[in-house]
């Protein structure tokens, strides 16, 4: 049994208790970060005169070899009795370089070690999450480009309100995802300080250059308070909040599209690739993908509230409760990355039923606001115009027709100011949409302009992305 703390104990741990308190099943995910942190620590120890340059080199090489082996054969760590990933690495290192390995933990605690590993790993995951969000944005911008002109009923209170364009609807989600991206990036910034060198709680007694150590690990600088450094999980809570909100946004898109694809709305067609059937009712085509996206949101929120509840009331500094953070990480972040990836598949597999959308957007008096606006243009105060447009709506309801379909005589009675206008033109869906062409409006022209703005922003971002350049080079070579 690899234990890092046996000396003061006379008895053996209860086998079942020892198994239960282990974190290896969950923190083995931190292996790469743990090795990276340890390599940097060997350098810091050499700088502090604890290790010779040769010892530091041998330790670093052994750590890297260990990581290589774990990459090539993930099973090589399985079955180990180590308590956690830190014990695992140290145990394997002892096997590789003997007693020298026992010098690695000088001046370090698993408390600052795990805090460092967590930040390193989290920041990598946040980069992946951010990229996936961008990829989903690209697909939604494409959808918006294809549906910039397509009228769709817009709702408030789930009641038809005013026509919108389907492109505008898609771009609403692009906006949400953009805020999500800034939250993810922001969280990564605040996770940018290096806890290593904080020891168990009080700092380290060795003269390690913490500024250099932080830089070696890609952090902006060292944490400034050892108590805070070993017990801070704010960054994870923030990441889980960002993930929860991403999940909420995906859930809202799912809910919209579930509704759009109902028989009653009939605006959206799901391709067979993303629909499921019923074991009993042969005619069914169900939007299970979207329902699962909506359903899994509850779990993301659960991980956030779970971690907050764990942190609440923890006495300073490190407490073993904090070990629960690993499950919060793996259950709160990976599934959300996957949900974004699945959302991409779903977005690729929906198609608006244009005739149904167009027809629905032209019905139900959704142009009544524009009638009031026309009265305002002819000098009527808005409140009065609203009242009188309401009377026209009532007449249309009583006649079972749209406003512009009322008889000329009736319209001349109700809105004589508009006698010179061709109301079927002025109140057409196209006119109603086109009027809303200011910044943030739903007009096709404005949506196309926004699509262009997004496309330019994404092209500029991709041009700066080294990973993207690499792919381009590869393509060129082929």
Give catalytic residues, as residue numbers: 157, 278
Query: Residue 114 Cβ, how far from ligand ARG at the closest point, in Å?
Result: 4
CA dihedral 150→151→153→155, nearest 10 degrees, is: 70
Query: Residue 351 Cβ, how far from ligand ARG at the closest point, in Å?
Result: 48
**Residues 56-115 interacting with ligand ARG (rule: CB under 6 A):** 84, 110-111, 114
Lookup: tokens for 432 = 């109603």
Q: Which CB, 322 or 346, lies closer to ligand ARG?
A: 322
The structure tokens 């391709």 sit at 271
Provide CB contacts within 8 A for 153, sequence distance 6+.
160, 161, 163, 164, 357, 360, 361, 364, 366
Lookup: tokens for 269 = 């067609």
CB atoms within 10 A of CB 221: 12
Distance of CA 387 to the CA centre of its chain: 45
Q: Which CB, 117 or 256, lies closer to ligand ARG?
A: 117
Query: Residue 116 Cβ, how far from ligand ARG at the closest point, in Å?
Result: 11
Query: Residue 111 Cβ, how far from ligand ARG at the closest point, in Å?
Result: 5
Q: Which CB, 111 or 428, lies closer to ligand ARG?
A: 111
Provide CB contacts within 8 A for 257, sequence distance 6+.
268, 287, 290, 346, 350
Residue span 109-148 as binding mask against ligand ARG, x where in contact by CB under 6 A, dash where not = -xx--x----------------------------------
Q: What is the size of the binding site for ligand ARG (CB under 6 A)?
A: 10
Choose which of 244, 323, 367, 428 interacts with ligand ARG (CB under 6 A): 323
Site membership for ligand ARG, residue 320 (CB under 6 A): yes
Q: Which CB, 318 or 454, lies closer to ligand ARG?
A: 318
Binding region for ligand ARG (CB under 6 A) out of 149-157, 316-324, 341-349, 394-402: 316-324
Query: Residue 322 Cβ, how far from ligand ARG at the closest point, in Å?
Result: 5
**Residues 196-255 interacting with ligand ARG (rule: CB under 6 A):** none
Name the residues that contact ligand ARG, by CB under 6 A: 23, 27, 84, 110-111, 114, 318, 320, 322-323
């Amino acid at each position: 049994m690899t234990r890092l703390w046996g000396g003061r104990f006379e008895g053996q741990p209860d086998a079942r208790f020892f198994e239960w308190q282990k974190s290896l099943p969950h923190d083995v995910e931190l292996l790469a970060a743990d090795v990276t942190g340890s390599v940097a620590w060997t350098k810091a120890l050499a700088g502090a005169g604890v290790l010779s340059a040769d010892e530091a080199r041998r330790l670093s090489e052994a750590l890297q070899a260990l990581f290589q082996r774990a990459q090539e054969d993930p099973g090589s760590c399985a079955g180990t009795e180590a308590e956690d990933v830190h014990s695992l690495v140290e145990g394997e290192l002892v096997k590789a370089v003997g007693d020298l390995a026992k010098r690695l933990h000088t001046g370090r605690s698993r408390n600052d070690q795990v805090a460092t590993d967590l930040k390193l790993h989290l920041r990598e995951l946040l980069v992946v999450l951010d990229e996936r969000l961008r990829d989903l944005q690209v697909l939604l911008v494409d959808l918006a480009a294809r549906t910039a002109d397509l009228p769709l009923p817009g709702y408030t209170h789930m009641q038809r309100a005013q026509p919108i364009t389907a492109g505008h609807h898609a771009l609403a989600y692009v906006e949400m995802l953009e805020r999500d991206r800034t939250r993810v990036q922001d969280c990564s910034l605040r996770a940018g300080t290096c806890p290593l060198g904080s020891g168990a709680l009080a700092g380290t007694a060795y003269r390690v250059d913490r500024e250099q150590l932080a830089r070696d690990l890609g952090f902006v600088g060292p944490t400034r308070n050892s108590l805070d450094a070993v017990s801070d999980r704010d960054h994870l809570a923030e990441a889980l909040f960002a993930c929860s909100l991403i999940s909420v946004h995906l859930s809202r898109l799912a809910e919209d599209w579930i509704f759009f694809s109902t028989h009653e709305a009939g605006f959206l067609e799901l391709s067979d690739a993303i629909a499921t059937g019923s074991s009993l009712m042969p005619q069914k085509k169900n939007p299970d993908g979207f329902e699962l996206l909506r359903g899994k949101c509850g779990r993301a929120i659960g991980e956030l509230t779970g971690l907050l509840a764990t942190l609440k009331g923890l006495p300073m500094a490190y407490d073993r409760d904090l070990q629960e953070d690993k499950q919060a990480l793996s259950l709160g972040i990976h599934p959300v990355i996957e949900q974004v990836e699945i959302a991409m598949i779903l977005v690729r597999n929906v198609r608006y039923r244009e005739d149904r959308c167009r027809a629905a957007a032209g019905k139900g008096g959704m142009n009544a606001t524009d009638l009031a606006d026309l009265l305002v243009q002819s000098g009527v105060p808005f409140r009065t115009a609203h009242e009188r447009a309401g009377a026209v709506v009532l007449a249309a309801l009583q006649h079972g027709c749209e406003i512009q379909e009322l008889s000329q005589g009736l319209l001349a009675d109700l809105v004589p100011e508009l006698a010179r206008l061709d109301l079927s033109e002025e109140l057409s869906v196209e006119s109603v949409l086109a009027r809303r062409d200011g910044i943030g409006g739903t007009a096709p022209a404005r949506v196309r302009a926004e699509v262009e703005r997004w496309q330019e922003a994404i092209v500029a971002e991709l041009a700066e992305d080294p990973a993207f350049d690499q792919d381009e080079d590869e393509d060129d070579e082929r």
